[in-house]
Structure 1
Amino acid sequence: MNYDASMTYAPNYETQTFHDVLVEQLRNTPWLMLSVGIHVVIAIVLNFMGAAAGQPVMETVFKVVAEQAPAPLDPIPEVEDPKDIEDPKDPTDEQPVPTEVFAEDPMIDAESEFDEPVDGDTLNDQPIDNHTVNNSTVGLGSSSGSFGDGRGGGRTAGPGGTRGKSFQKPLTAGLDWLARHQSPDGRWDCDAYMGQGAPERGPLCTGKGNAMYDVGVTGLSLLAYLGAGNTHRQGEYQKTVKAGLKWLKAQQDAEGCFGSRGDPHFTYNHAVAALAMAEAYGMTHAPAWRTSAQRGIDFCMKAQNPYKAWRYGVRSGDNDSSVTGWMVMALKSAKLSGLEVNETAMQWARDWIVAMTDEETGRVGYTKRGERPVRAEGRIERFPADTSESLTAVGVLTRIFAGDDPGESAAIKAGAELMAKRLPVWDPEGGRVDMYYWYYASLALFQCGGAEWSAWTGKMKSAMIDTQRDDGNFAGSWDPVGPWGEDGGRVYSTALMTMCMEVFFRYPRVFGTRNK
């Protein structure tokens, strides 16, 4: 339609602001301006007259003016200024409350105990609740989180340095492999991940896991990225992290449980997923993850047996130290991320660990005091239980997270000594590869420090770096040759080994430096 100057058009409220509309109304009603002007002149004249007679008249005049003013205009419709209308956007892009700024490059060079003679106590010794540029929430994330607010990506400036040059390439290679094998929907598919490989790189990967653990291995993979400082907002893998978190969030049911409950082992899936979501929220404080993270933690507490710990199902009455370990880390991360956590839950978990600890040896049992680690049916001969102290590692870490001081606890000291006798060795034929054990022991012994930590770090380098694949589609991964490799597959082994490398700059020590 062409504009006709002889015609009167209604104000365009869709494009005008309130100010524009008001000006337009005033422009079209000159009588109002004239009336106001006349009354102002009268008021001034009468005021001078009253002043001459010694009488205050200004108040009276303005009362008259107000009473004689013309009827008010019809209310102008309230119309939102277009610039204030919020455009539809992905909720994951919502900005969090301001947090500390950390090092942009999560792979900054720094000397570590693996690049120089090992000194187990030259790493980060900041108290766990200090907001320093050092750590992750529960040892899984990085960037702006609870255990010191550095969660991996920011943990580059600790005493003596915590980013070893030795780890830069293998860590990046591990993350690259995981990114290449992520499914289009955001998950890591235990038994079909190899389909994401590139034929031009050579044969596709082998080593599939069990489909029932997709939620769990997706959580582990996300923790590997979070531990290196990558979130949906920062790092080289933002899209990878965002897609994974969105898929994980979509797997949560009305009660807050992540994944299907069709298999009794679903509590493993849930605990790891809840841990990943709590880490993601703690690192970014993104509103998109908060509700999901809190609901996941609420379900953890709901599933705990009263006065005890966790196993399979919700308050089933059974308890084991393995499921309990993952639940404890999820709760610790949640607490440090600002989520609501019942302190009693952690204390009950500690009480369970105490009940499972052999006071003479320091060994922590699975479901019975001091028993050896459990193996799946048919695997005990291939993976002898006496080659691992995995549950002792879980027990030591749980005690520390619950508040026990490694420098004062005889049980923690005994557990550390046991782990120092079962150092990492890549020996698939002898059944001595146990990535689950290596991960928990690395976390626990770093907290303990001292000679046991130094001995451990001396063996972990070759067990991790020297065994990473560098060929074709396999490049960056680790073969799933441990006792749980058949369950989680190559995705599980690669995520855990990547997380093992990140342990050395993930947490600050809870109680400071340990004496040797």
Structure 2
Amino acid sequence: MNLISQITGLWDDPRLIYAVAIAAVVLLAITIWLFRRAKREGRAAGTICLILSVALHAVLIYLVPYQAKEDGGSSAQEVDPDASGVEALTFSTFDPDLAVDDASGDVDTPSIEPLPVAELQDLLAEPFDNPVTEDSSADVDPPEQLEPPTESPPAPESLASVAPSDMSPALQQITQALDASLDQLLQSQLELAESAAATETPEESAMVAAATPDPTQPDPAASPPQNNAPPVAPSPEPIKPAVPSPPAATTRSASAVVPGSEQADFANRVGAAKQLAIAQTGGDARTEAAVKAALRFLAAAQRPDGAWDPRASGAGLDRMPLGERRPGAGSKSATGLTGLSLLAMMGAGNTHLSGDYAENVYRGLAYLIQTQHPDGSLSGNATVYAASYCHSMAALSLCEAAVMTNDQSAIESSRRAIAHTVRMQHPVTGGWRYTRGDPGDLSQLGWQAMVLDGGKRAGITIERETVAGVARFLRSVRAGRGGLACYRPGEATSRTMTAEALATRLLIGEDVPQAEIDEAERYLMESLPGTRQDNYYYWYYATLALHQLQDEAWERWNTALKDRLLATQRADGSWPADTVWGGYGGTVYTTAMATLCLESYYRHAIRNSSDRIATRP
């Protein structure tokens, strides 16, 4: 642990703050008294007291941001990395019959009718007067997160060992009900797929077969990595649909039914729909092999209590990517790191009920629910610069779990998290930033908007004022002819913010004019992956946006993205942290973000304009 980390760790004690503040005030008072004396012999002592007082005030000004904020980080101590934590849960995790009191503070469950689609269209279509500002390729203020342990932690306990051996009759009934509902769902999907297989056309069979490599034959499209790192060997097992491929009436892949999902946005993550989505939208056997290797790395990096620990991995290295010092940022972002890792695992179809990483997902979600603050915040013990990012990333993972499984504990935790998100939104600008009352920035808004969208899909009502605020802030940061975007209103445009704005607008269901899409795509095509320093934050949002469009720009971007990510993945499945924002997050951050990029083919279904967070809850 470096000197900065030691100092900021001491600064978490409020008694030290009070002592330094009192000493500074006392010295200042002594200075005033000495200088007001008629005799001059006390002037030297007064000067010394003044210097000491100024120094103590400077210490306060410099280090106060590391003290946990009421609306940002937490003053609670971090969970002991050596403690399992799952056995000690006091929140009845994943209990379908859960009934708890509302501890979300001053925000009740919204009861206001959602914003009508026509009214949202009017808001989004209002003119804006942002001038075209000077182009800036700086990638502005993404999250300061996370990294994996340099040594693999002990192998996690089996899921069976986590649960008490003497289960109560009520818990046994819950478990049996979950198993029965899952079996019924899988059986219904198999029956639907088998009935559809009878009418499958030869073209569709060939399409699925194209995504299923023959393990006995080399992949002719595979290319060796372009760096000195050993390449990751393709997975020995072929990509094979779990059930026969259903017929595709359009160019989109067929969607399975996912409990709790109004629009089945995550349906392409599993089964035959996943294989079809891979084949149709640009993935292949190599990208899936890379995802599998990355998930193995993330699983090995997980703590026994379910978290991914930034301290053990050395996250928080400040390389000043924007020329600003933020020492320690990311060093306490356990919830954010956990949220990103869970998103990567769930993006590949894993939940706490099923999948190769069901145990890892269960323990990660349990950690987040256990450490959620009474006001709904999921920022953990993060510093002020990372608290809002940590909350939104952790909240998004809980929302996705709620949508994919309809689990009542995940839904309740998501509801509390969204209540906190709503409280942190600026009432005038509609944005989010580091603390409550900040006017907002686009980097924060992208994550929070997806939390709201995920919550709506889980059946949580989103107030019309919240939705209108998102649209209002998106309008305020638009530039050029409307397709470009900046970090905050009036600042220079950047590709990262342009990508984040376009992805957010498309994923929440806005009808983006084609002229604005063209302008954004021209700008993004000027900085393809592999042409500058690797920036996974930029790549993540650009990939989300362009995947939704499925046009020529997507094909160019996807080719460059795959070439660069497959060439730079390391033998253990991770990606290096020498990227634009990798210093704050480390290799768990870079690995999770790179994995999310390679899961883009099936992580979100391609949406349409009627699928928006402003429709009915």
* TM class by smaller structure: 0.5 to 0.7
Task: Report how far residue 417 of structure 1 moved.
Answer: 2.0
Partner of 1:509: 606
Counterpart-to-counterpart distance in 1, 2:371 and 2:210? 39
Counterpart-to-counterpart distance in 2, 1:214 and 1:92? 29
Query: Which stretches in structure 2 are left out of the alignment for 5+ residues?
Result: 1-167, 194-207, 213-218, 223-247, 316-327, 610-617
Is the CA contact (8 Å cut-off) linking 2:314 and 2:586 kept in structure 1? no
Task: Report how far residue 134 of structure 1 moved.
Answer: 8.8
Partner of 2:47: none
Find out whether 1:418 has 2:523 as its counterpart: yes
Find out whether 1:468 has 2:589 as its counterpart: no
Is the CA contact (8 Å cut-off) linking 2:483 and 2:502 kept in structure 1? no
Distance verdict in 2 for CA 1:469–1:411, change over 3 Å: same
Query: Which stretches in structure 1 are left out of the alignment for 5+ residues?
Result: 1-84, 138-143, 196-207, 374-388
Distance verdict in 2 for CA 1:500–1:183, change over 3 Å: same
Task: Report how far residue 415 of structure 1 moved.
Answer: 1.3
Partner of 1:153: 270
* 1:20-169 superposed matches below 5 A: 86-88=169-171, 95=178, 101=186, 111=211, 126=252, 132-133=255-256, 146-150=263-267, 152-154=269-271, 155-158=274-277, 160-161=279-280, 164-169=284-289
Counterpart-to-counterpart distance in 2, 1:125 and 1:277? 31
Partner of 1:404: 510
Counterpart among 475, 480, 486 of residue 354 in structure 1: 475
Distance verdict in 2 for CA 1:361–1:333, change over 3 Å: closer
Is the CA contact (8 Å cut-off) linking 1:133 and 1:148 kept in structure 2? no
Counterpart-to-counterpart distance in 2, 1:317 and 1:437? 23
Please give the secondary structure, in 1, of the residue aligned with 2:275: coil
Counterpart-to-counterpart distance in 2, 1:211 and 1:92? 37
Task: Report how far residue 315 of structure 1 moved.
Answer: 3.5
Q: Deviations over 1:375-410 (max 9, x none)?
A: xxxxxxxxxxxxxx111111111222343224x343
Is the CA contact (8 Å cut-off) linking 1:442 and 1:500 kept in structure 2? yes
Amino acid paired to 1:153 = V
Task: Report how far residue 365 of structure 1 moved.
Answer: 0.6
Counterpart-to-counterpart distance in 2, 1:100 and 1:148? 17
Counterpart among 345, 357, 363 of residue 237 in structure 1: 357
Q: Deviations over 1:54-97 (max 9, x none)?
A: xxxxxxxxxxxxxxxxxxxxxxxxxxxxxxx8344597886297
Task: Report how far residue 497 of structure 1 moved.
Answer: 0.5
Task: Report how far residue 511 of structure 1 moved.
Answer: 3.1
Q: Deviations over 1:279-318 (max 9, x none)?
A: 0111011122111011111211121111423333453132
Amino acid paired to 1:405 = D
Partner of 2:400: 279
Is the CA contact (8 Å cut-off) linking 2:278 and 2:284 kept in structure 1? no
Distance verdict in 2 for CA 1:420–1:346, change over 3 Å: farther
RMSD: 3.6
* 1:290-369 superposed matches below 5 A: 290-360=411-481, 362-369=483-490
Q: How many residues get paired?
A: 376
Counterpart-to-counterpart distance in 2, 1:123 and 1:194? 50
Counterpart-to-counterpart distance in 2, 1:277 and 1:174? 21
Counterpart among 547, 569, 576 of residue 479 in structure 1: 576
Please give the secondary structure, in 2, of the residue aligned with 1:211: coil
TM-score, length of structure 2 as denominator length: 0.55
Counterpart among 452, 455, 464 of residue 556 in structure 2: 455
Counterpart-to-counterpart distance in 2, 1:303 and 1:89? 40
Distance verdict in 2 for CA 1:123–1:212, change over 3 Å: farther
Select the structure of larger CA radius of gyration.
Answer: 1
Please give the secondary structure, in 2, of the residue aligned with 1:191: helix
Is the CA contact (8 Å cut-off) linking 2:295 and 2:345 kept in structure 1? yes
Task: Report how far residue 510 of structure 1 moved.
Answer: 1.7
Counterpart-to-counterpart distance in 1, 2:451 and 2:412? 15
Counterpart-to-counterpart distance in 2, 1:220 and 1:267? 14
Counterpart-to-counterpart distance in 2, 1:124 and 1:245? 36
TM-score, length of structure 1 as denominator length: 0.65
Partner of 2:585: 488
Q: Deviations over 1:33-69 (max 9, x none)?
A: xxxxxxxxxxxxxxxxxxxxxxxxxxxxxxxxxxxxx
Is the CA contact (8 Å cut-off) linking 2:430 and 2:470 kept in structure 1? yes
Counterpart-to-counterpart distance in 2, 1:254 and 1:276? 19
Amino acid paired to 2:178 = Q
Is the CA contact (8 Å cut-off) linking 1:94 and 1:288 kept in structure 2? no
